[in-house]
Chain A
């Protein structure tokens, strides 16, 4: 059971906009920033979004993040086949970083 709650799956067709949610509580998302990671099949995780809505260099602006209260979301617009991956949210929680259970995104 992960501390942060994500839907186990999401899907969309090429070109669509998909939103992945991440729910926490006041000890994690409620008082700290949220980071998102993308893990492509067979690859190591990669930082996709940090400090709620900041994209590291090289991440396309099709990806955006937001946070409100104890929830956060990752939006992917103009969905592409190469976006098919597992997505994880994460946040600091008192003494350690906690992850969501991950959302498997399928591009139909």
Chain B
């Protein structure tokens, strides 16, 4: 079964760091680009970060540039999001999603169940 499972979400104080993980199974992980997408409470979906199949190409939404880093370990079928200098407006469900392509410009055809990040003092 093709599956993505996120973990690492937690309640953290503003200014702290957190690392999200996403483990893939059921498909050849390094054939696909991957993404982190978030859903803040009461708002719409927002692409946070994207990474190509080999990590050579990455992209970030302006709101997280310089604070978040996306990475992947193809040997471990894993995707990561290192989040630092967290702010209350980073509070959201964070989903990892698979691209239909090796590059980061395709549709997102497989999604994880999401992990909740809450930034509050």
Contact = CB atoms under 8 A, between A and B. Distances in A.
B111 A46 contact: yes
B14 interface: no
Contact of A96 (B39, B59, B97, B113): B59
Given A44-B114, A45-B37, A46-B111, A98 B95 contact: no
Contact of A97 (B35, B95, B109, B112): B35
B46 A99 contact: yes
Given A47-B108, A96-B50, 9 more contacts: A35-B107, A37-B45, A44-B114, A45-B45, A50-B106, A88-B44, A88-B45, A95-B59, A99-B44
Interface string B88-107: 00000001010010001111
Contacts of A92: 105
Looking at B43, B44, B47, B50, the one whose CB has the most chain A CB atoms below 10 A away is B44
6 contacts: A35-B107, A44-B112, A46-B111, A56-B109, A90-B45, A99-B44
A97 B105 contact: yes
B61 interface: yes
A47 B109 contact: yes
B111 A96 contact: no
Contacts of A45: 37, 45, 95, 97, 108, 111
Interface of B: 35, 37, 39, 43-47, 50, 59-61, 95, 97, 100, 104-109, 111-114
Category for how many chain A residues contact B? 20 to 34
A24 interface: no
Contacts of A102: 44-45
Nearest to B103: A92
A9 interface: no
A16 B121 CA distance: 47
A108 to B, nearest CB: 23
A35 B107 CA distance: 6
A87 B60 CA distance: 23
B39 to A, nearest CB: 8
Interface in A38-80: 39, 44-47, 50-51, 56
